[in-house]
Amino acid sequence: MLEVHFSDDLHKWALAPLGTPPNGQKSRGKIICNCYDVSENEIIETCEIGADLQTLQAKLKCGTKYGTCVPELKRLVKTHRTNS
């Protein structure tokens, strides 16, 4: 039996309906809010321009459905928020 192993970068494209994986794609990072498909990098970028938890929830909708990601959102805000 032939076993195929994909690198981490190619693994996410293994079942994509493409002939070749897209080039130049920026990694989104891990998904923090599964309900609204919000990634760690999106949250960090928003925090770095001064967003607090309420702003993240208003802008990205993360943490507004079930709230299971709210503790992680609070941690990211505390770590990455810049006071503009």
For residue 36, what is the domain's CATH number? Answer: 1.10.10.1100
**pTM of the predicted protein model:** 0.69
| Whether pLDDT at 12 is above 60 | yes
On the CB side of 69, how many CA atoms lie within 13 Å of its CA?
25
Number of domain units in the chain: 1
Q: Does 72 map to a domain?
A: yes
Residue percentage of the chain with pLDDT more than 90: 61
In the predicted structure, residue 6 carries a pLDDT above the cut 70: no
| Domain extent for 59 | 27-80
Q: What is the mean pLDDT of the chain?
A: 85
Strands (DSSP E) found in the chain: 31-33, 38-39
Over range 6-18, report the average pLDDT. 68
Confidence check: pLDDT of 19 > 80: no
**Does residue 20 lie within any of the structural domains?**
no
Please, are residues 77 and 46 in contact by the beta-carbon 8 Å criterion?
no
Query: Could you tell me if residue 7 is inside a domain?
Result: no
pLDDT at site 26: 74
